[in-house]
Structure 1
Amino acid sequence: MARLNIRRGQSASASAVQERSAAATMPAEAPASAVAPSAPAATAETEAVRKRRLPRTLDSFYDREFRWFYISMLGHMGSMNMQLVIRGLLAYALTESYATLGLVGLAGAVPQLFLSMFGGVIADRKPKKTVMQLGQLASLLNAAALAAAEFMGMMSIELLLISAALQGATMALMMPARQAMIPDVVAPDRLMNAVALNMAGMNSMRLFAPALGGFIVAAFGFGWGFTAMSLLYVVAIICMSQLTWRPASAPGAADQTFRQVAASSFADIGGGFRYIWRDHKMFVILSLAFATSAFGMPLQFLLPGYAADIFAENAEQGGAIAGTLLSVSAIGALVGAFALASIPERNRGWLFLVGGAILGLGIFLFAQADTKELALVTMVIFGLGSSFRMGLSQGLLHSYVEGEYRGRVMAVFMLQMSMMQFATFFVGIAAEAFGIRVVVACLGLILIATMGLAGALVPTVRRLQ
């Protein structure tokens, strides 16, 4: 079978701690981010920002720690988005099977399903920067191992599955810390802005990284693609090391070793799930996030095979088209992210529902596209809906969650990645039986119906501000 050769000052930190303490005493109806800054340093900082010339959309970049965090995120997400194309295309080139594409996603989903909550406990109990650095190092070693295997002619689908499983475990233990770090690296009154800018950065990587990955594979081969991924992880590690800010530890956490944290994990995990169950807002936001992941996101994992099958004459051409489609979707995602960074924090529940429906519409229209040009237009709609879905769900969770549960709640949120990949596996099987276009169209229609029913039947989501 043919293969292709292819860091913020101490005053701002103190302000953030006071802010979280004030937020804990608020009524349940108000989000934590609604508390007015109480520390003089934070107020002075906010006034200084108002006198500066950067647009309101970019406020969070006045925080040094957020800048380094942001650049580190760009390196990490750039590598991850390159992987989306390179690993998927390699799996399809090795087997020419949608089911195998889904199986590679499933290999990453299983460890995420079982380990994400442990990652949330670690994020609540240990320094998030350390957790991030360890995870980035593990990701670097994984990508470097794949590059070495390809250069030595030892690549196989079994090795790709093992790599996907190891990467899934790494993501499960690391990503809750990354998501929970955002409120700690910006002033409290910039939280939604920081979340939206974080989404914009992630989407910019979706714009450039897949196309870059596809180009490298087409021009130089898979080995150099994995090498480029490794170099981006090096950038992420270096930038994360520049963070000098230190958060307040959770009660009793400072003297705990990682082994002691692990020993108490099951009780902490149970506490996290009980909190989500009794807090109706958390439950509704997370449920909708899971639904939009399950029905809205499998397409991007199956896109390498879809493009090769529908729009291309061979796998090499399909890889380039898939990279282009993913990059174009990021244009809509960037528009959505910058819009979220600029709009006031109200009616976000309705916006969440609208974003999910837009995502479903983009998926349905994509399945109807008979030409590559029409598919490119529909992917802009897909990207816009995806950005609203992801940015608003994160922003709402950060606004309403109690600080002591933040890591565990974000760990549950990150379980949507497992949901996404499990769904991809079953969608891949269904595509083998009914055809990829029919299955993708059904996913879009189901997502639109889900958002409509939630808007009509769940008043909690309509009242979210």
Structure 2
Amino acid sequence: MKTGTGVKTGTGVQDTAGEAGERSVTARRWAIDLRPLRVPTYRRLWTGNSVAMFGFQFTAVAVPVEMYALTRDSFWVGLIGVAAFLPLLVFGLWGGVIADRRDRRQVLLVGSVLLWLSTLGLLVQALLGARSPVLLLVLVAVQSIAFAISSPARSAMLPRLVPLDLVPAASTLNYTTNTAATVAGPMVAGLIFGIWGTDTGLPIAYAADALLLTALIWAARGLPALPPEPDPDGAPRRRGLASVVDGFRYLVTTRVLMLSFVIDLIAMILAMPRALFPEVAEERFGGGAAVGWLFSAIAFGALLGGLTSGWIGRLQRQGLALVVAVVGWGVAVALAGLAGQLWLAVGLLAVAGAADLVSAVLRQSMLLVHAPDRMRGRLQGVNTVVVAGGPRLGDLRAGSMAAGLGSGVAWVGGGLAAAALAVLLAVAFPALARYRTAPPAATRQP
């Protein structure tokens, strides 16, 4: 017999409640893990960083727009990438050393203030109508230096803000919100320029970035002191270049971490297809909005992957999962290169983006948990260089290969090569695939 609400009485009520509970458990299993947000210090840092990352996208759009408006030359626009990457290459390693030798809260605060000042410089030069491409490049380089100083400290402090078993979930939250910012921020920046035009839109975009960046300064000011932990043997830490060398020596001799960097470089250098998007959009999909869809697809897939990432934090065979994710990235990219319909190419690139999120989160989690605290800053500095440099080398690989062999071979061949080489790496060096994280009870901090 049924009640007026349509719910069965007797044991049927229990069955219905049990089914609801089972659906709830399944939803929690797949939904993004929000437990790190219960930790006040992490929640503060996550909030400040998310707001600041959204604002930074305004500048990321505004600088190329301003440079092209000043020079009418794409070569100068391309120099923006050089101005941003070279400081990362140098100061990323140095920033890692500082993060291991100084209070990481202070390092993050200083880097954030410098980043805010450089953004304020962009606003001032736009308001004054300086119209100097060289000044624009200098301010971009200062921004990159500030990011290189603060980024290793911001990442390395994570295991001291949350229990170790929540590091994968916290890394996923960071990656997902950053990806969401890279999707939404440029769209809002585009609206700013669409409504107000270039002359008025540039100051508005820079001012919005400067305003939102204050959230990161607020977050850093409210964190507890995070001084470096003493070395177990009590030995004094070396300074300068010697300290950088120590970090590389540790990385090279720690096979699992070294292999995680190598497999990421394989994925980015061999299979990153974005340099081919303009040509393929024009020749295969008729141009127009197609290029925008291609450029957005990977980030959109990563965002969806992050929102359904609750299962990642429960993985114990993280090394094997990392290999599978990189292979999935390569295969999905290759299949997208074969797609004759735009919707299919975009869908497959979104799958690749989801696989890239999994690999990025697992690699970051392995790095933060496996490495001792005294090395985390320097390893995060190396990670900053790898993350920034890998895709740019991938652009160079794809463009050069397309010039000689065609865009189809460059796209499909790169994806298949990345997948095959990832498998060979796992077979030749089984330490990576065998890597397991400790059970939560063993890794939770007191």
TM over 0.5: yes
CA distance in 2, matches of 1:312, 1:129: 50
Does residue 250 (structure 1) correspond to residue 229 (structure 2)? The answer is yes
Does residue 269 (structure 1) correspond to residue 239 (structure 2)? The answer is no
Alignment of 1:1-400 (within 5 A): 57-88=33-64, 94-95=71-72, 97=74, 102-220=78-196, 221=198, 222-223=201-202, 224-243=204-223, 245-251=224-230, 264-297=239-272, 299=274, 322=292, 327-343=296-312, 344-368=314-338, 373-400=343-370
What RMSD over aligned residues (CA atoms) do the two structures have, in Å? Answer: 3.6
The amino acid that maps onto 2:166 is R
Between stretches 137-146 and 290-299, larger displacement belongs to 290-299
**Which residue pairs with 1:445 in the alignment?**
416
Instruction: Tell me how many residue pairs correspond in the alignment.
Output: 398
The amino acid that maps onto 1:108 is A
The amino acid that maps onto 2:228 is S
- Structure 1 residues 202 and 86, CA, compared in 2 at 3 Å: closer, same or farther? same
Gaps of 5+ in 1: 1-52, 253-259
Residues 102 and 428 of structure 1 are in contact (CA less than 8 Å); yes or no, is this contact kept in structure 2?
A: no
TM-score, normalized by length of structure 1? 0.74
Q: Deviation digits for residues 124-173 of structure 1, max 9, x if unmatched? A: 11121221122222222223333333444434543443233222222221
**Secondary structure of residue in 1 paired with 2:34:** helix
**Secondary structure of residue in 1 paired with 2:319:** helix
- Structure 1 residues 231 and 306, CA, compared in 2 at 3 Å: closer, same or farther? farther
Residues 106 and 425 of structure 1 are in contact (CA less than 8 Å); yes or no, is this contact kept in structure 2?
A: no
CA distance in 1, matches of 2:331, 2:142: 34
The amino acid that maps onto 2:104 is K
**Secondary structure of residue in 1 paired with 2:425:** helix
CA distance in 2, matches of 1:441, 1:161: 35
CA distance in 1, matches of 2:276, 2:80: 11
Q: Deviation digits for residues 279-323 of structure 1, max 9, x if unmatched? A: 111211122223333345572x88689879987878xx79xx63x
TM-score, normalized by length of structure 2? 0.77
The amino acid that maps onto 1:410 is Q
Gaps of 5+ in 2: 1-27, 437-446
Q: Deviation digits for residues 42-75 of structure 1, max 9, x if unmatched? A: xxxxxxxxxxx99882111110001001011102
Deviation at 1:175, TM superposition (A): 0.9
**Secondary structure of residue in 2 paired with 1:57:** coil
**Which residue pairs with 1:458 in the alignment?**
429
CA distance in 2, matches of 1:156, 1:443: 39
- Structure 1 residues 376 and 229, CA, compared in 2 at 3 Å: closer, same or farther? farther
Q: Deviation digits for residues 388-416 of structure 1, max 9, x if unmatched? A: 12111101111211221111111111111
CA distance in 1, matches of 2:276, 2:134: 19
Between stretches 167-176 and 369-378, larger displacement belongs to 369-378
**Secondary structure of residue in 1 paired with 2:230:** coil
